[in-house]
Structure 1
């Protein structure tokens, strides 16, 4: 038998065994005869070939039927297994691990992406799928994590793609085309604004942004670009009337703040200093100022603005001092002095043509001359001017002649006399003020204060003991015999001042009662004098209703007579002081009431009371033989009392 190849031979043997129903495990032995394999060149098939084809088709059908059954079985089996959660987790974990390992291979990644793209393209042909996909994306993008993942993926993809030069060029062209449209511009601006506002909430981002801007602004090209862009944007926006009005209001509000004013001034100063380096600009600026100053309105505006600026600046002490020094330096030059005088004279002559200005100037001068400082300044200035003028002989001769002519008038002589008196008073006041200031400064030292105290003690008390004793006896010799003409109280000489020497007004003198005491003079105590100087009524003055009643002649009694008629007997301890021999009361004073009617009834009344006297003895107790007081008195006095 001839076979095409060894496979045909094996298939034939297997089919023969199957057709003969011979088991493969049997111990039967067969002998295979020599076989030759030759390729048949003719196109016709033999019966053996047809038989083999038939057997192959039969085997294929069986395999297909068995594989379909096996697939169905495995499908049901896997569905049951997947109902278990542990199996599903293990299967998902295995799938993820296998996919991660497979994706490490570039070929697998590319194939996987292509398959995904194809699958999604086919699915997106359905409208329902597109809508569901769009809703799912919107939901996922609302979550922060998904947004961050998408941004990272897009950034990675764009960074890889931008490494290609052609991609970068095409991207740039596409952006330029899209930016020409108004809608795209607005969308980009909104998105950039949102992104920048979110990013600027972070402090580090703000600092880095500020540093980057500062670095870029140091370059001249970036500065010029920014200026051009801002100019274009402002010119377009200012075509709208509402924008112009809002911009003007915003500037007015900002200029009210001090910081914005200072910044604007600094910027304008820098810009003007740079521009003035150009000679043509300086010349054009000068010509423009000259033209504008010819107009009256511009002059008035400039004056007002300069006045406001100077008044604000002069509130600063340093500016005032620097301005004063600059004026002093400039006034040292003769030319500046002459110019200032001429300008002031012109301005004053023009202003004095107005009657109101003349009156206000006169009033202001009168008010200022009432102040001491202005008077002193005027005197100094007049003295300096006279000293300079008196250096010339002609001026001295004229001054002497004018004085001779004026002194012929007696009123002029009286004026000069009064002026001299005033000057002497002012000079004395000045000397007193200087002495006070010098003493106040010296008294800050403790040594000088102690020295002054010692001098005062020596002046009032005396340097030695003998001298102090003599002074004490001299002061106490007269006693309190000086009666105040205002309160009628008696005082020592130290506490009293003569009324003629007291500096009080005529109204306060009327409160005195013309009471004379020592040397036939009127005296005032220190308490009444203090209130009279303040033009007040003294509290203890006679005119205030504080007059003591006069003692009647009947009360000029002996001590015993006083004891008999007294309605209260005082009990007190009277002791002699250790120095001076004076008496003082110690402890409480007790007043015991006494009924004097029994004593009056005990006195005899049948005798002629006008010419009778009775001897009375007063004892502490009736059992005592001796008496404390012994006196004869007239009963008529007791009846009168």
Structure 2
């Protein structure tokens, strides 16, 4: 400490006041002038620090120059702090610690000094904790604690326990190795280390211990093997260097070099040697190219060589032959294809990510967003009106033929996406939601409903994984409608009528669920054992009625086989108590075996030719009995008549949960649907109905009675819920209403005082209250928008739409009809296709109308003007096919009686034409009026619609005559 006093005395003579001692924390917060500070470093605990300082500084001095022209203390002189390897800072023998007191003008100079000091020691500023300022007090305390033997023993035990860990030992060994390598870069350290080793080796005990250690190591086979390999590698390296030196000497002779070249040339004629040499050169080049200098020189040489045209030509030919040879192997072609596919996919992903990032930034600008919307609209709608119509036809071409791989429902193209990208991002626990089913364009599609659920890692409610599906249908249950009714334990009585002009079916009235006994019907059937034998059967509500509700030719053999199957597999039929004569079953099985044996016997001799007419294969579903029946048979006149529901009491559809399964055994095969308790996601009955109607298995969509059954069941459920809500709204004070109360007119008046008895039907389509609500909506639109501009009718030309007929053939018959086949079909065949699947026809018509409105009418081409709003109503009349009456509002359209007649006429002539074009004869025929029965009602000979209309040269607005 006398040094510090002398320094302060010198400063006092110069007139500098003694500053207050500041720590590093004080220096950080004080921005005023600082005259001096002290840095205390512990220099005597380890040798590594001293060695590091010596290695970094060598024989040079560390100079810290502080220039401050504004300082009164320093003037224009520089303060030099010299530290070299001879000062006490680097002396490893001095462990008492020293303090260097340096004066600074301000905080900035101090920080600059510390930065230069740490940099000279090669210490990262982020790890300054390796050398921290210490006080003499702390060092003295530590030395004082270490004098305690218990403390030293505990410290030694701690270090020993740490070294028992192999990972810690390895880390410590690596740290020591790195430290030694750094220290050995100093020549003085190497000299000291060598002198220390020589001094230690003079000790006899050390040499003996070292010899014993090496001897014990050599007893280990692994150590001997490693040592042997090391010695062998060293010998090989020495020999290689000797051989290289000898070769260099020999190759100085020109004759030797010429002979060696000839020898190599003759060897290269061997393809195997050339391949080995090529591989060796390739390995050597790979090793050499790890050097950046070699790689740079090689690139420069290639650039210079490629300036020669002959070299480039030779290089291209060589690459061509090499690629041709490589592609001659199929596995190489496949690897190349996969590599290119992966490269393209990566490029697409990068471009997509880049576009997404760039576009998300650009979309903040409104102009760019509007431009992007316009481009999308042009791409969808087309540049011209003809292009728009082509896009519309392309859109409706496939129809609902896209099958979802998850729910196996039929969808339109707008409702599905390719599942390839979805599968790549789907977790493994959701892979069971994909069935790998491919449909249009041989692609596996997935609908948006299932996709949204899978993205949330939920099982889609319509998915097959959620136990949505039909039981497998055996061939025994391929029955005709009346055959199915004879087996049903429930008969859903409904009045189904066949509509004119197409043969489609409609229902009138309610659906009555009647339980029946199947046993009397089975016992009454004739015990014929011929498969093709048929019998005429009539179904009545009561035997005494003259009217027959259902009549058809049935196959008793098929009915017995179907019942036998249901009794074996269905729990519902097992509990019904039906008994089947076992002799029938034995004889039926014997006949099946004989027929199977006969078919196998004659299979080789058969020429696979049949003269049976295809129309005669469905004789069981006709009203004509083609089997030969003797004239004295009593069935020849009347056939069999059944009234299975006579005397039975109807059951509500909702109080009989198994009514649907027992009414339609050919659909559900006598099995119940899985309960919601067994599903991963609960499903409502309306969702189940939607799935069954849209399923790729068309058994429900082709069963019109089952469709009407579902409709009535859903309507009853909705009305029941509305009634319960209406009763809760009445202030009955907890009173329960009975049938007697409902029959009382006063009570009924109280119940319906809020018109709840009327408004419970508001959700029932085409009910009076539903139509009244729609009428009010239309009147509100007229008050707000004014009178509509156009009125139109859109009818379903289902038998003339080739796209629809092709879709029906694909979904129901599994056959894709060509245009020639569709043109050769007569009207009855087309009507049969339409009648077979009314669900697809209705869905296709609705989709076609929506696309027509959105793509054509709402397009920027404005075929009838700029559409602002519209209102339409769907009706099912006469043919049973849907048709629409639509009202359309056009922007800035002239209003009758408000604007001039000339403006109205000009507007009409702009969008309406009365010309006949020869090229569009099919469209003209649709617009020509044809008289029907409704034209001449009540015996009037003149068409009540006024057709034919007299032709006129121009559009004229005719006013009605005023009646006086």
Alignment TM class, shorter chain as reference: 0.3 to 0.5
Structure with higher Rg: it is 1
Q: TM-score under structure 1 normalisation?
A: 0.32
Structure having greater relative contact order (Cα 8 Å, sep ≥ 6):
2
